[in-house]
Amino acid sequence: MTAALVDSLRRPGRLIAVELRPPRSGLSAAEGMDSWIDLNHSIRHLALKDIFVFLTDDAVGSREEENLGHLAANVGSDVPLSRLVPFLTCKHTIEHCLLYADRAHSLGFEALTVVGGDVSTGPPRCVPHSYMLRQRIRERQPGLSLGGWANPHRDSSEQVEYIGSDDFSAEFYLTQIVSHHSADRVEAFLEECDRRDVSTPGIFGVFYYWSAQPGTLARLGEFFPVPAEELTRE
């Protein structure tokens, strides 16, 4: 059975999804509860409007509370799990990752996004590349639809060859952050997909910049390409 996300991606028309972050680790009990309540309201509001919600796993190198545990315990039975897609990075032990996939499947989740995780900070990856973990999960839980990762800012030929290979082991992919300032890279990426007849559906990441403060843009630039000069002019 194909996940609702994959079915939606394959249909004509626009699909909008939202990526949210769990509360960071180390908060006091009161702070953590307040953060989870706020997050839960957002998840429910979006999912009940049929918007797909992705929940990160230690995004940008910061420790976060586990996404799966919260979703299972607090979201509520009226929220369709088909609209919720947790991230899983390789920055855990292999035993944890495989058990995580088992839990996700047993709880009723249809899809996981499995990515490598930032190698410059935090614990090491359990495998060098995320496709290796997806292969292990697929052997164990073939009913889960798995998502991967692509970066349109890198060489389009290499990226599309990667997502088009059998080893990629994913039914969909997310991309690095792009914007109208990198439209040429997106166009080159999609043209290469057409040229190679790669039809794996993808979701292109965009970021809402609240301000053009140099310090904020420099910090964000540590994690994805930021068009700082263009944003400052705008």
75, pLDDT greater than 90: no
At residue 4, the pLDDT reads: 95
8, pLDDT greater than 80: yes
60, pLDDT greater than 60: no
pTM to 2 decimals?
A: 0.88
- Phi/psi of residue 168, each to 5°? -60, -35
Side chain identity, residue 115: V
13, pLDDT greater than 60: yes
Q: How far apart are CA 156 and CA 134, in angstroms?
A: 22
Helix H, strand E, coil C: the string for 121-176 is CCCCCCCCCHHHHHHHHHHHCCCCEEEEEECCCCCHHHHHHHHHCHHHCCCEEEEE
168-179 tens-digit pLDDT? 999 999 998 888
- Mean predicted confidence (pLDDT) in 34-50: 87
Task: Identify the residue with better confidence: 72 or 188.
Answer: 188
114-152 tens-digit pLDDT? 999 988 888 899 999 999 999 999 999 999 999 999 999
201, pLDDT greater than 90: yes
For domain 4-233, the question of CATH label 3.20.20.220 is answered with yes
Residue that has been written with the tokens 């839960």 in this structure = 40
59, pLDDT greater than 80: no
1, pLDDT greater than 80: no
At residue 31, the pLDDT reads: 67
At residue 120, the pLDDT reads: 83
- Mean predicted confidence (pLDDT) in 80-95: 95
At residue 175, the pLDDT reads: 94
Q: Where are the domains of the chain?
A: 4-233
- Mean predicted confidence (pLDDT) in 141-170: 96
Q: Comparing C-alpha atoms, which of 68, 73, 63, 70 is closest to residue 86?
A: 68
